[in-house]
């Protein structure tokens, strides 16, 4: 049986706050504890913190990076997929996940959420994490009302929401 794949998206290293890093670490830890696979953009900030949390709990992490060289990935990625397509890789990150958890974030996170929205994926934002997560949490991204961005109060509840959705749809 294929393992469940959860994307963790959000602030890059330049915009990431300590608060967002802490949330991402806890999300990564909870993903690993659930036996799911963590997928991310493979770079710094939220991506690195989530991977670090997953690795501390023996989780499997996949980083899908925009560059052509493995060395750009954070050191907590078990599997690195070098796309060489720049930030168009955001489409691959979102498409490769069964569900998406957002922590803060800017335009790159918005692209990933947009892809998840079009693909009708469950998307959960962590309340109080900033950026597009706080701006769009609890809302639909457009008038089609395809899927709302669910709001979780913390890292643990974000992962629990994703896992509950999995159980209900299997």
What the block records as the tokens of 63 is: 């980083």
Question: In the predicted model, what is the mean pLDDT of residues 93-98?
Answer: 98
Bridge-based pairing state of the strands 60-65 and 149-152: unpaired
CATH assignment, 5-161 = 3.40.50.450
- Residue 152 — very low, low, confident or very high, per pLDDT cuts 50/70/90? very high
3-state DSSP call for residue 8? strand
Closest CA to 36 of 6, 10, 66: 6
pLDDT tens digit sequence for 7-49: 999 999 999 999 999 999 999 999 999 999 999 999 999 999 9
Q: Tell me the average pLDDT of the chain.
A: 97
Query: Directed axis angle between helix 18-34 and helix 46-56, to 10°?
Result: 40
User: What is the C-alpha separation between 144 and 68, in angstroms, rounded?
Assistant: 37
Q: Using CB atoms within 10 A of its CB, is residue 105 exposed (0-12), middle (13-18) or buried (19+)?
A: buried
What is the model's pTM? 0.97
Contacts of 78 (CB under 8 A, 6+ apart): 55, 60, 61, 62
pLDDT at res. 19: 96
pLDDT tens digit sequence for 117-136: 999 999 999 999 999 999 99
């Amino acid at each position: 049986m294929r393992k469940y794949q959860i994307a963790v998206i959000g602030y890059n290293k330049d915009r990431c706050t300590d608060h967002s890093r802490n949330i991402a670490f806890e999300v990564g830890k909870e993903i690993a504890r659930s036996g799911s696979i963590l997928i991310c953009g493979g770079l710094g900030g939220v991506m690195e913190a989530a991977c670090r949390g997953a690795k501390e709990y023996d989780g499997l992490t996949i980083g899908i990076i925009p560059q052509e060289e493995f060395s750009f990935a954070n050191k907590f990625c078990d599997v690195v997929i070098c796309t060489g397509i720049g930030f168009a890789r955001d489409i691959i990150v979102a498409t490769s996940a069964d569900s998406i958890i957002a922590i803060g974030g800017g335009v790159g996170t918005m692209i990933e959420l947009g892809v998840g929205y079009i693909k009708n994926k469950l998307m959960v934002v962590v309340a109080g994490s900033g950026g597009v997560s706080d701006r769009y949490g609890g809302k639909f991204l457009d008038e089609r009302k395809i899927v709302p961005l669910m709001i979780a109060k913390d890292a643990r509840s974000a992962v629990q929401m994703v896992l509950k959705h999995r159980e209900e749809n299997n």
